[in-house]
Structure 1
Amino acid sequence: MAGVVKRTNDFLRDVVKELKRVSWPSRKELTRYTVVVVATVVFIALFFTVVDFGISTLIRFILG
């Protein structure tokens, strides 16, 4: 049991060290990245909605 606790403590200590080395984005960069991601997701969702609607309409037209 003591070995598990020691390994867990070592792991968490290493995690804290690594997080201090991370180059975190500024608030402005984070906002810009978030807007890009949301816009991309919305665009792709709309694209697949239009494609789905088009294919559904085509299949309904073919099957009569």
Structure 2
Amino acid sequence: MGFLAKIGTGFRKTSDFFRDGWMELKKVRWPGRKELTSFTIVVLVVVTLITIFFAIIDLLISQVLNLILG
């Protein structure tokens, strides 16, 4: 297979990839405004709780290390 034929095959594969990707995106059921708002609130609450959890763990570990190292 010649060089130009390989390039042509590569372009066809690339265009097939993007066409297939576009077809799959058309099948997606996108969330509405109400769902998106509730999902965003859930994410923010979970991130806040995890941040508080790790802050407490960090504080406890630093206190224990201060007691050990004096």
Q: How does 1:13-52 map to 2 (within 5 A)?
A: 13-52=19-58
TM-score scaled by length of structure 2: 0.81
Structure 1: tracts of 5 or more residues without a match: none
Aligned equivalent of 1:55: 61
Aligned residues: 64
Q: Kindly name which structure, 1 or 2, has the bigger radius of gyration based on alpha carbons.
A: 2
4+ runs deviating over 4 angstroms:
none
Aligned-pair identity (%): 45
Name which of 7, 11, 30 aligns with 1:5: 11
TM-score by length of 1: 0.88
The residue number in structure 1 matching 2:4 is none
